[in-house]
Amino acid sequence: MNRQSEQERKTKESTINISLNLDGSGKANINTGIGFFDHMLNHIAVHGIFDIEVKATGDLHVDTHHTMEDVGIVLGKAFKQAIGNKSGICRIGHSYVPMDEALALVVVDFSNRPYSSINIPWTGKYFGKNQDELIPLTLIEHFLQTFAIHASITLHVKVLYGKDDHHMAESVFKALGSSLDKASRLDPKRRGNIPSTKGIL
pLDDT tens digits, residue range 83-142?
A: 999 999 999 999 999 999 999 999 999 999 999 999 999 999 998 777 767 899 999 999
Q: What is the mean pLDDT of residues 158-181?
A: 98
pLDDT at residue number 133: 76
Distances (CA, A) of 96 to 17, 89, 107, 167: 30, 21, 9, 14
Going from the N-terminus, what domains does the chain have, and what CATH number goes with each?
4-190 (3.30.230.40)
Q: How confident is the model at residue 1 (pLDDT cuts 50, 70, 90)?
A: confident
Distance CA 166, CA 154 (A): 24
Report which residue type is found at 50. Answer: F
pLDDT greater than 90 at residue 50: yes
pLDDT greater than 80 at residue 167: yes
Q: What is the mean pLDDT of residues 142-146?
A: 98
Q: What is the mean pLDDT of residues 192-196?
A: 94
Specify burial of residue 76 (Cβ count, 10 A radius: 0-12, 13-18, 19+).
Answer: buried
pLDDT at residue number 130: 74
pTM over 0.95: yes
Distance CA 65, CA 24 (A): 29
Distance CA 108, CA 178 (A): 10
Distance CA 21, CA 54 (A): 12
Q: How confident is the model at residue 70 (pLDDT cuts 50, 70, 90)?
A: very high
pLDDT greater than 80 at residue 158: yes
pLDDT at residue number 134: 86
Q: Convert the pLDDT of each residue in 18-45 to its tens digit.
A: 999 999 999 999 999 999 999 999 999 9
pLDDT greater than 80 at residue 147: yes
Give the chain's mean pLDDT. 96
pLDDT at residue number 176: 99
